[in-house]
Amino acid sequence: MEPLLQVRDLKVDFKLRTNTLHAVRGMSFEVREGETLCIVGESGCGKSMTSLALMDLLPRAATRSVGAMRFGEVDLTDRRAVRRVRGNEMAMIFQEPMTALNPAFPIGDQMTEAYIHHTGATGSAARARAVEMLTEVGIASPEKRLGQYPHQLSGGLRQRVMIAMALMTSPKLLIADEPTTALDVTIQAQILRLLRDLQHRLGIAIVFITHDLGLVSRIADRIVVMYAGARVEEGSAAEIFGSPRHPYTQALIDCIPQPGKSERGAPLGTIPGVVPSLVGDVRGCAFRSRCPVAQPVCADAVPLRAEGGHLWACIHGAKKDETERAPA
Amino acid sequence: MPIYLAKRFGLAVLVAFCVSILAFALLRLQGNAAGALAGEGASAEDLAIIVETYGLDRPLIVQYASWLGDVLRGDFGTSYFFKSPVSDLIFDKIGNTVILAIMSLTIALAISIPLGVLAAVFSGSWIDRLCSLVSLLGQALPSFFLALCLVMLFAIKWRMLPASGADSWRHFILPAATLGYYITPPFMRLVRAGMIDALSNDYVRTARAKGLPAHRVILKHALRNALVPVVGLVTVQLGLLIGGSVVIESIFALDGLGYLAYQAIGYRDFPVLQAVVLLLSVVYVVLTLLSDIVNAWLDPRLRVS
């Protein structure tokens, strides 16, 4: 079956005074209908830029180049086509629910305006739809909420409003850029449950962007691990957590404290070293300076290995290399 | 909301009260009020008559109370120089000044809001620089120079508009254009800065992500928030404009409050001066109250505090 979203060789660059910052260096991935794809990586690895590039929302200073980018029948490199599907069949929610809503307008106005724009519905039909969606995301007395302003709602409620607003037009794809990062843990869990529940009931595909691998294990169907602007590994949740092939993925998993497994009082795992600068060209494997199993050949081009749907960009990890993979 | 307004209103009344004390003290603090009223070379008898007439020998608090009572009834006394009731003088002139102020402000906003929005949307480009140049010119040109240029072109050369007087709305166009253009730069800078700030906000990204057309994103979501500080500036500028612009009013022979105050200072005409000070202060207080109300409408977060 044709994937719902298809991205091939996406690059996002920022021109600096003397050089170029390559924020995204050739990302490729696919999202199938109704599935949850998680894009995981450290801060600054380019995961947010990837999501903004999909929606044509990159900052003005950024330039985008892409091999192919399709959403169903729509070519996402065509800006006019993007404007038709954006906020319509393809919706997005953001990290900061405190600032993502406009403080000057009531919730109801903000929820209905795009719906009216896209569908041509009347004001009262749009309000009815907004009440329905607020109920859908578990907000009590929705009619009252429509007249309220963002500052009258808590962070968790605002994120629910954001989700309800994104669902107004029944999108096929929801891009969620760290939607729970700014919330406290109990609210985080509620929002995750809500997203999973909505997905099952409404059959929307979700691209979930996060730095939190622990969270990914609770919602992902498939996972893309990003490092320094590029995909280093991709696979089903079972493949990534069960048999991670890239040393970076392995290192990330080792950083998740696990009740019962991790030793009590032991220091939390960290990855030594720092993320490489994305300014200028990166040759070879970007992770090699922090990699426990790096070889001299890692300075050259990295092969992309595949085992069914499981992909990884590393010289290691093929079956015969199994012994080499053991952390040094 | 009602509590917010009640608080603001209470504060406004309090400020107006303080200002009335200051305006009253304006004359008394001279030390010898009778001497100030009588002018130089007054005899002792003259002074005694003045003390008698104005009740200057009574306790200050009594004098203030009776003065305030008169003022509240609209009686500001009689002008020494014009020999007519101060209230009549002011009533005659304030109309012209208010019309001029409101027209100037309208012109300033009509220029600065579109320019500021354009400059912010295209910030850093030649459009931004052009908009800034157009508005900066308003500040760089002395207003009397611009006034004379406009008179030369529109009144003398093309004979489209009258050069002086205040007989019809057409008389107000040239002075209002001059003043309006003159006060444009601060508005334009504020709109530009506010828009640049608003456009970089997350809620603008949300609005774009919702698929709203660019003009809705800019003119609804960003501009609404960028206008909050502009309201405050409108208040200040309108207050200044109603205070009168001596230069412009004299160039266009537009007999307004500014010109009256200027004359009153020259002639040591204290009742007129007192009335003008009090009136302008009250205008300021009322404008501030209005701007609080408008801001509460623009920014709902203010309504709770």
Contact A119, A168 (CB under 8 A): no
Domain contains A121: no
Q: List phi, psi (to 5°) of B33.
A: -65, -40
- A contact residues 25-64, partner B, Cβ 8 Å cutoff: 55, 57
**What would you measure as the largest C-alpha separation in chain A, in angstroms?**
66
By CA distance, what is A105's nearest residue in B?
Answer: B300
Domain contains B277: no
Domain contains B301: no
Total structural domains within chain A: 1
Size of interface A-B (CB pairs under 8 A): 73
Residues in chain B closer than 8 A to A86 (CB atoms): 208-211
Q: How far apart are the first and last CA of chain B?
A: 9
pLDDT of amino acid A177:
92
Which pair of tokens denotes residue A321? 């290399």
Residues in chain A closer than 8 A to B201 (CB atoms): 99
Subunit contact A100:B202, Cβ cutoff 8 A: yes
pLDDT of amino acid A127:
96
Domain contains B89: no
Subunit contact A104:B299, Cβ cutoff 8 A: yes
Subunit contact B212:A113, Cβ cutoff 8 A: yes
Domain contains B226: yes
Distance CA(B162)–CA(B160), nearest Å, equals: 7
Domain contains A151: no
Total structural domains within chain B: 2
Domain contains A124: no
pLDDT one digit per residue (tens) for chain A, 328 residues = 689 999 999 999 998 888 889 999 999 999 999 999 999 988 888 889 999 999 999 988 899 999 999 999 899 999 888 988 999 999 999 988 889 999 999 999 999 999 999 999 999 999 999 999 999 899 999 999 999 999 999 988 999 999 999 999 999 999 999 998 888 888 888 889 999 998 988 999 999 999 888 888 889 999 999 999 999 999 999 999 999 999 999 988 888 877 776 677 777 778 878 777 888 888 888 898 888 888 888 888 888 888 888 999 998 876 544 444 434 3
Looking at the fold, whether B64 and B152 belong to one and the same domain comes out as no
Looking at the fold, whether B127 and B49 belong to one and the same domain comes out as no
CATH number for B207:
1.10.3720.10
pLDDT of amino acid B121:
94
Tell me the nearest-neighbour CA distance from B1 into chain A, angstroms.
14
Q: How far is CA A118 from CA A86, A88, A113, A137, B138, in A?
A: 10, 7, 9, 21, 43
Looking at the fold, whether B23 and B116 belong to one and the same domain comes out as no
Identify the residue among A102, A115, A118, A158 best suited for mutation to test binding to B, counting B beta carbons within 10 A and taking the highest. A102
Percent of chain B with pLDDT over 90: 33
pLDDT of amino acid A279:
86
Subunit contact A94:B202, Cβ cutoff 8 A: yes
Host domain of residue B44: 15-72
With a cut of 70, say whether residue B305 has pLDDT above it.
no
pLDDT of amino acid A187:
86
Q: What are the tens digits of pLDDT across the range B101-152?
A: 999 999 999 999 999 999 999 998 999 999 989 888 888 888 889 999 999 9
Domain contains B80: no
Domain contains B305: no
Residue A279: DSSP 8-state: B
Subunit contact A165:B203, Cβ cutoff 8 A: no
Residues of chain B contacting A, Cβ within 8 Å? 201-203, 205-213, 216, 221, 224-225, 298-301, 304
Residues in chain B closer than 8 A to A207 (CB atoms): none
Domain contains A163: no
Looking at the fold, whether B51 and B103 belong to one and the same domain comes out as no
Contact A305, A245 (CB under 8 A): yes
State the amino acid at position B106 in one-letter form. T
Long-range contacts of B31-38 (CB under 8 A, 24+ apart): B36/B268, B36/B270, B37/B80, B37/B270
With a cut of 80, say whether residue B96 has pLDDT above it.
yes
| 3-class DSSP state of A81 | helix
Looking at the fold, whether B112 and B64 belong to one and the same domain comes out as no
By CA distance, what is B301's nearest residue in A?
Answer: A151
Q: List phi, psi (to 5°) of B186.
A: -60, -35
Could you give the ipTM of this predicted complex?
A: 0.86
Of A84, A87, A105, the CB nearest to B209: A87
Domain contains B151: yes
Distance CA(A282)–CA(A25), nearest Å, equals: 9
List the one residue out of A59, A150, A55, A143 whose CA is nearest residue A97: A150
Looking at the fold, whether B161 and B48 belong to one and the same domain comes out as no
Domain contains A138: no
Subunit contact B212:A117, Cβ cutoff 8 A: yes
Looking at the fold, whether B143 and B67 belong to one and the same domain comes out as no
Looking at the fold, whether B107 and B242 belong to one and the same domain comes out as yes
Looking at the fold, whether B237 and B106 belong to one and the same domain comes out as yes
A318 and chain B in contact, CB less than 8 A: no
CB-CB neighbours of B213 under 10 Å = 12
Host domain of residue A233: 5-89+169-321
Q: How far is CA B61 from CA B26, B55, B68, B282, in A?
A: 14, 12, 10, 21
Residues in chain A closer than 8 A to B207 (CB atoms): 102
Looking at the fold, whether B27 and B169 belong to one and the same domain comes out as no
CB-CB neighbours of B87 under 10 Å = 19
Q: How confident is the model at residue B165 (pLDDT cuts 50, 70, 90)?
A: confident
Which pair of tokens denotes residue B290? 């209005």
Mean pLDDT of B254-283: 83
Domain contains A181: yes
Subunit contact B212:A104, Cβ cutoff 8 A: no
User: Percent helix, strand and coil across chain A, each rounded to 5?
Assistant: 35, 25, 40
Q: How confident is the model at residue B1 (pLDDT cuts 50, 70, 90)?
A: low
CATH number for A59:
3.40.50.300
Looking at the fold, whether B60 and B132 belong to one and the same domain comes out as no
Mean pLDDT of B19-27: 83
Contacts (Cβ under 8 Å, ≥6 apart) of A65: A10, A11, A13
- A contact residues 183-212, partner B, Cβ 8 Å cutoff: none
Looking at the fold, whether B179 and B243 belong to one and the same domain comes out as yes
Least confident interval from A130-144, B166-180, B255-269: B255-269
Domain contains A295: yes
pLDDT of amino acid B230:
92
Distance CA(A250)–CA(A227), nearest Å, equals: 13
DSSP alpha helix (H) spans, A2-58: 47-54
Subunit contact B209:A57, Cβ cutoff 8 A: yes
Of A84, A101, A117, the CB nearest to B206: A101
Domain contains A117: no
Q: What are the tens digits of pLDDT across the range B203-227?
A: 999 999 999 999 999 999 999 999 9
